[in-house]
Amino acid sequence: MARAMRSAWPPLALLTMLSLAWITQEVEIVNVQTPVQVIGLLNKSVMLPCSLPPEGSVKVTQVTWLRGGDTVAVFHPEKGAKASERLRFVAGEAEEDMRNASVVLSNLKIQDEANYTCQFALYPVGSWTTHIWLRVMAPGQNTAEALKDDHLALGLVPVATCISAGCYPPSQITWSSDLGGTFQLEQKPGPEPGTFTMTSLYFLKPSSKVDGKNITCKVEHESLEEPLFLLVTLSVHYLPEVSISGYDGNWYHGRSGVNLTCDARSNPKPKGYSWSTTAGPLPPSAKAQGKVLLIHTVDKSVNTTFVCRVTNDLGTSQNKVYTPVAEAPKRDRSGLSENAKIGITVSIVIVLVILAAVLCVAWSHLQTKHPGQSWSGSSVESRAVQYSVVSNGVNLPRHGSD
């Protein structure tokens, strides 16, 4: 019996070695490289790659694609290719092309996002399966614009909006600004099934400080390589902001030629100006001309509080200024009045003009009396007296000689 077992051992060992060799051969042949995930854009086409090496000893008897558990495409060497709507095989009908089982899915919908299975039926090794996750994305239509509110609002109002319409998955929207506003993000169903529309409103308190300023909307989405920045220039409607200028603190009896100016920042623009006093109508010496209040002569009647009202399409705002009137002009620390300081200034100017005239006359007189003579200090100093020896024929004795 031992002899029988020894005689049976070589065939058993040989069978085991052949089985290992066959497994190694199968692993080498069925070497399909497929991505784990494929990303496609909404309403575009995408390819789901799945193929075998062009060379190999196995024979492909059928290719099957499944979406979830449902068959969506079959490629058979005798029956040909059959696929559901919007799905087609990349390869042709030839049997050698069955090693390329890649398919193209066109006009992508959000509902196409799923796990797809590529299955090869191989002879004689059986079937081989791989899975690909298809992600569908839509960056959406991204816009940003300023908002205008024609109604009076005292608190925070929406001044800008940023919209990502028809996106999938939902976009992320934020704002960049140094104006200190706040924003709200709202999500609604998009124009196509499965998509979203993201709307972000930016809120500020209306004033001249924010009107005309720039803010930036930042849109982030998985399908975008980098964030999208959208610049918005604000156009904020607000009530008139009124200020009054022209009073210098030195109105006195008899002074003339003074006026007050009503300045207003407003959006929309001012439609009208109205002047009055806290006591009622304007005094007789005051006359309103639009934004300017003319004061012909300062008297006791203008010792009052003037009020300027400015109106635009949103409403009316006002400001006031008190204009006390003194008996005489104010004096500074030197004790001089304004009129005295003006007189002194004029006198100094006259003296300087007379002095300049005198100097010009004196210079002209010198030029006439000594024509061509230079009066520069350097030329006077450079003049030197030179002496020359005049010979009269007499030989002068020389010292130190006989």
What is the tally of structural domains in the chain? 3
Mean pLDDT of 251-277: 94
76, 93 contact by CB (below 8 A)? no
- The confidence score (pLDDT) of residue 54 equals 75
The answer to whether residues 179 and 163 belong to one domain is yes
Helix (H) or strand (E) holding 306: strand 304-312
The answer to whether residues 176 and 216 belong to one domain is yes
Cβ-based neighbour number of residue 338 at 10 Å: 15
The answer to whether residues 316 and 251 belong to one domain is yes
- The confidence score (pLDDT) of residue 12 equals 34
The answer to whether residues 280 and 245 belong to one domain is yes
Please give the Cα distance from 274 to 261 (Å, whole number): 12
The answer to whether residues 169 and 206 belong to one domain is yes
Tokens 């087609």, residue?
Answer: 88
Least confident of 96-100, 176-180, 377-381: 377-381
Range of the domain at 296: 239-326
User: 123 to each of 26, 94, 345, how far by Cα in Å?
Assistant: 11, 17, 117
Examine the pLDDT at 13 and tell me if it is beyond 50: no
Percent of the chain with pLDDT over 70: 79
- The confidence score (pLDDT) of residue 133 equals 97
The answer to whether residues 244 and 209 belong to one domain is no
Examine the pLDDT at 2 and tell me if it is beyond 70: no
Query: Where among 275, 308, 326 does a domain terminate?
Result: 326
Please give the Cα distance from 108 to 340 (Å, whole number): 91
Q: Which amino acid is at 382?
A: S
- The confidence score (pLDDT) of residue 69 equals 87
Query: Where among 274, 306, 326 does a domain terminate?
Result: 326
User: 121 to each of 6, 26, 35, how far by Cα in Å?
Assistant: 40, 13, 20
- The confidence score (pLDDT) of residue 96 equals 56
The answer to whether residues 43 and 114 belong to one domain is yes
Output 317-324 pairs: Cβ under 8 A, ≥24 positions apart. 317/239, 317/240, 317/241, 317/242, 317/264, 318/242, 319/242, 319/243, 319/244, 319/262, 320/244, 320/278, 321/244, 321/247, 321/260, 323/247, 323/251, 323/260, 324/251
143, 162 contact by CB (below 8 A)? yes
Residue 14 lies in a domain: no
CATH code, domain with 291: 2.60.40.10
Residue 347 lies in a domain: no
The overall average pLDDT reported for the chain is: 82
pLDDT digits (tens, 9 = 90+) for 52-88: 887 777 888 999 999 988 999 999 888 888 999 999 9
Mean pLDDT of 156-166: 96
- The confidence score (pLDDT) of residue 18 equals 29
Determine whether 246 is exposed, middle or buried from the number of CB atoms within 10 Å of its CB (0-12, 13-18, 19+). Answer: middle
Q: What are phi and psi of 2, to 5 degrees?
A: -60, -40
The answer to whether residues 154 and 65 belong to one domain is no
Residue 248 lies in a domain: yes
Examine the pLDDT at 27 and tell me if it is beyond 90: no
The answer to whether residues 87 and 121 belong to one domain is yes
- The confidence score (pLDDT) of residue 347 equals 84
- The confidence score (pLDDT) of residue 151 equals 73
pLDDT digits (tens, 9 = 90+) for 88-130: 998 865 555 688 899 999 999 999 999 999 999 988 888 889 9
Mean pLDDT of 273-299: 94
Examine the pLDDT at 210 and tell me if it is beyond 70: yes
Distance of CA 219 to the CA centre of its chain: 13
